[in-house]
Amino acid sequence: MRAGKISRKTKETEIEVSVDLDGTGAAKISTGIGFFDHMLEQLARHSLIDTAISAKGDLHIDQHHTVEDVGIALGQAVRQALGERAGIARYADALLPMDETLTRVAIDVSGRPFLVFRTEFPRQKIGEFDTELVREFFQAFAMNAGITLHVETLYGANAHHISETCFKGLARALRVAVALDPRQKGAIPSTKGTLGG
């Protein structure tokens, strides 16, 4: 079973995350941030990664610490579940349309964390959610999952659609990249014989 579980507690947040890479996309999400919960549910559903997240953060200050720390813990849980990355497809990409918006996501589950994020939002807020926190989540997730992640919104006008295509695009690419490829026969998909840096 390719599963991971992380508990993370700081003076700013208290977070519990569990994932099952070979799940059905079941999600149990509670961060105290409604829009963020919605995005994380989309990530679980479209990646087919069963995901449970419970987060309590200093929302009386703002949402930044909670969003970033969930990204850290979720990334660590995925990295734990991947183990040595034996037999995975490793690379994947997705073009994700939503009405007027189109976002491209490419991923390498390499063990070498890197983020390229070329997405702009037409406004600073989606309800009470700060749109700049979308990048903060992707940065924290990529660094802690140990993945190279490129996200680029090619065009779009609606901030909700732009955010949702980023999360769904990540989900669809992640789903393919972490899947076990039967032709690999359990081999690590690298000429070095190892993934992880």
Give residue-wise pLDDT tens across range 61-102.
999 999 999 999 999 999 999 999 989 999 999 999 999 999
**E-state strands within the chain:** 3-9, 13-20, 27-30, 50-57, 91-98, 101-108, 114-118, 125-126, 129-130, 148-155
Q: How does residue 184 score in pLDDT terms, banded at 50, 70 and 90?
A: confident
* Span 3-184 CATH architecture: 2-Layer Sandwich (3.30)
**pLDDT of 197 above 60:** no
Identity at 65, one-letter amino acid code: H
**pLDDT of 193 above 80:** no
Rounded Cα–Cα distance for residues 110 and 34 (Å): 32
Q: How does residue 188 score in pLDDT terms, banded at 50, 70 and 90?
A: confident
127-178 pLDDT, tens digit per residue, is 999 999 999 999 999 999 999 999 999 999 999 999 999 999 999 999 999 9
Residue 151 near residue 118 (C-beta atoms within 8 A):
yes
Question: Tokens standing for 80?
Answer: 């734990």
Give the residue among 58, 68, 69, 60 at the shortest CA–CA distance from 16.
69
21-64 pLDDT, tens digit per residue, is 999 999 999 999 999 999 999 999 999 999 999 999 999 999 99
The pLDDT assigned to 189 comes to: 74
The pLDDT assigned to 128 comes to: 94
Residue 44 near residue 27 (C-beta atoms within 8 A):
yes
Rounded Cα–Cα distance for residues 194 and 6 (Å): 24
Q: For 184-192, what is the mean pLDDT?
A: 74
The pLDDT assigned to 195 comes to: 67
Angle between helices 132-145 and 34-47 (to 10 degrees): 40
The pLDDT assigned to 1 comes to: 84
97-125 pLDDT, tens digit per residue, is 999 999 999 999 999 999 999 999 999 99
The pLDDT assigned to 191 comes to: 59
Four-residue CA torsion sign, 32, 38, 39, 45: positive
The pLDDT assigned to 186 comes to: 77
